[in-house]
Amino acid sequence: MLKNPSNQQRLMFVVTEDWYFVSHRLPLARAARDAGYEVLVATRLGDKAEVIRREGFPAIDLTKMWRTGRNPFSELNAIAELVGIYRAHRPDIVHHIAMKPVLYGSIAARITGVRGIVNNLAGLGFVFSSRSLKAALLRPAIRRLLAMVLNRPRTLTIVQNSDDARVMTKAIGVAPARLRLIKGSGVDPSHYPVPHQEEAPLLVVLASRMIRDKGIADFVAAAAQLRRNGETNARFVLLGAPDPGNPRAIPQAELDDYNRDDVVAWWGHRDDIGGILARSAIVCLPTTYGEGIPKVLIEAAAAGCAIVAYDVAGCREIVADGDNGLLVRPGDIAGLAAALASLLANPARRAAMGQHGRARVEAEFAQDRIVAQTLATYAESVTP
């Protein structure tokens, strides 16, 4: 057992992927440590394990929990593993991130008597966004489980957008008093230079994991339509790595093909995403995935980019249509192409949208604001 000889409260993050913790929660973990918490991280340890350890956070390997697992015995093993981890490390507060950790971790926390439970649903994910038969079959059971675990005493659940908050209260039955609306994981606006400087030819970027639900095919189709219409003053670029653990991942061979057809370029994973956004004209995300708020859209707004996105939950939390970007009906490829074309042809409008987006981030999505709201939620979770 990891002993805690001081009077510090012990906070444990529980998230399936170490890369997600590093990309979305590392600043929060640092702030929690600075606020006096002893911070531990339970995750599937991979390429980012050393990053976590170098920060001084004990890293606990989750070996039984997989994002896409559906075998009932494996899922029970995942709950049992969390029970063992909570008994061994005795956290005062657990912060569960995403659907499986929320469901399984909440059960394990109740079994082991964890004082405070903070659940973070960064979107409602596959089960609530997909129209597949599998999602339809899973949805009623997930609704019942969520209602059961999220309405317990000393349990607070963070949602990232107002659409998800309505689903949680009206469709699932979570008491409003148990919900906290905290808009994303936040970004530090000071990391993005002002004024925004576009490069030529104009750069139109889709940055995400390379999975189909992020709208990769729609982006490519819209770019091809613009090329056919004579658009030569723009480069269309895909940024992001494949996600082999996701059943909707785009195969490497298909991504490589994009580099050969002269419509879009696939640049793969890049560590300098902030620098790329700082010189991009438009960030496009035609996602239909059940996200909280796509972090890349917050980053895009902070960098002063105009945004084109589908009008779905999460995207419309950061994009005000006509103000800092354009929202398009989901699946409308012609509308997507038209929105991109209109902004490519109007530099003054792009610049105004970029300025409005930057101001919006500073007012609502800045990292300091998000961190303060989350630390307040931790304190609430252990208040009698």
Domain parsing of the chain, residue ranges: 10-186+366-381, 189-365
| Cα dihedral across residues 164, 166, 170, 175: positive or negative | positive
Would residue 280 be called left, alpha or beta, if left means φ above 0 and alpha means ψ between -120 and 50 degrees?
beta
Residue 372 has what DSSP assignment?
H
Q: What is the pLDDT of residue 215?
A: 95
pTM value is 0.90
| Cα separation, 63 vs 65, whole angstroms | 6
Q: What is the pLDDT of residue 384?
A: 76
Q: Which helix (H) or strand (E) holds 277?
A: helix 273-278
Q: Which helix (H) or strand (E) holds 156?
A: strand 155-159
Q: What is the pLDDT of residue 135?
A: 64
Name the CATH topology of 10-186+366-381. Answer: Rossmann fold (3.40.50)
| Cα separation, 254 vs 264, whole angstroms | 12
| Cα separation, 63 vs 297, whole angstroms | 32
| Cα separation, 358 vs 300, whole angstroms | 9
Q: In a structure prediction context, what are the per-residue pLDDT tens digits for the chain, which is 384 residues long?
A: 455 555 789 999 999 999 999 999 999 999 999 999 999 999 999 999 999 999 999 999 999 887 555 555 678 899 999 999 999 999 999 999 998 999 999 999 999 999 999 999 987 766 666 666 666 777 787 888 899 999 999 999 999 999 999 999 998 999 999 999 999 999 999 999 888 999 999 999 999 999 999 999 999 999 999 999 999 899 999 999 988 877 788 998 999 998 888 899 999 999 889 999 999 999 999 998 878 899 999 999 999 999 999 999 999 999 999 999 999 999 999 999 999 999 999 999 999 999 999 999 999 999 999 999 999 999 999 987
Going by CATH, does the domain composed of 189-365 fall within 3.40.50.2000? yes
| Cα separation, 357 vs 350, whole angstroms | 10
Q: Which of 44, 53, 38, 40 is nearest to 12 (CA)?
A: 40
| Cα separation, 234 vs 221, whole angstroms | 15
Q: What SS3 state is found at 187?
A: strand
